[in-house]
Amino acid sequence: MSMTNRWDATALAGLGEEMYRWIERLYPLCRSITGAGVEDTLAVLREQVPLHIERVPSGTKVFDWKVPREWNIRDAYVKDPTGRRVIDFHANNLHVVSYSRPVHKQVSLAELKAHTFTIPEQPDWIPYRTSYYAENWGFCAAHNVVNALPDGMYEVCVDASLQDGHLAYGEYLHHGYSEEEVLFSTHTCHPSLCNDNLSGIALNAMLASLISQVQTRYSYRFLFIPGTIGSITWLSRNQQRAQSIKHGLVVTCVGDGGPFRYKRSRRGDAEIDRAVEYVLRHTGGAYQISDFSPYGYDERQYCSPGFNLAVGSLTRSSHRQYPQYHTSADDLGFIGPNWLEESLSVYLKVISVLETNQFYVNKFPFCEPQLGRRGLYDDVGAHPDPNAFRMALLWVLNQSDGEHALLDIAEKSQIPIDTVAEAASALHHSGLLEMAAARP
- Interface with Zn ion by CB under 5 A: which residues? 196
**Residue nearest Zn ion, Cβ-based:** 196
Instruction: Report whether 225 contacts 234 (CB < 8 A).
Output: yes
- Which CB, 167 or 198, lies closer to Zn ion? 198
Is 246 in contact with 176 (CB distance < 8 Å)? no
Closest C-alpha to 91, from 142, 42, 19, 44 = 142
252 vs 419, beta carbon nearer Zn ion:
252
User: Dihedral through CA 93, CA 95, CA 96, CA 98, nearest 10?
Assistant: 60
Q: How far is the CB of 196 from Zn ion (least distance, A)?
A: 4
Which residues, in sequence order, are CB contacts of 205 under 8 Å at separation 6+?
Answer: 19, 22, 45, 48, 49, 222, 224
Q: Which is nearer to Zn ion, 133 or 177 (CB)?
A: 133
CB of 157 to Zn ion, least distance (A): 26
DSSP sequence for 273-342 = HHHHHHHHHTT-S-EEEE---S-SSTHHHHTSTTT--SEEEEESS-TTSSTTTTBTTSSTTTS-HHHHHH
In the bound complex, what is the minimum distance in angstroms from residue 296's beta carbon to Zn ion? 9
CA distances from 113 to 119, 137, 154, 239 (A): 13, 12, 11, 45
User: Which C-beta is closer to Zn ion: that of 182 or that of 303?
Assistant: 303
Instruction: Quote the distance between the C-alpha of residue 428 and its chain's center.
Output: 35
DSSP code for 117 = E
Nearer to Zn ion, 233 or 252 (CB): 252
Which CB sits closer to Zn ion, 233 or 324?
A: 324
In the complex, what is the shortest distance from the CB of residue 297 to Zn ion, in angstroms, rounded to a whole number? 7
Q: Which is nearer to Zn ion, 196 or 331 (CB)?
A: 196
Q: Cβ of residue 311: shortest distance to Zn ion, in angstroms?
A: 18
Q: How far is the CB of 319 from Zn ion (least distance, A)?
A: 7
Least Cβ distance, residue 13 to Zn ion (angstroms): 30
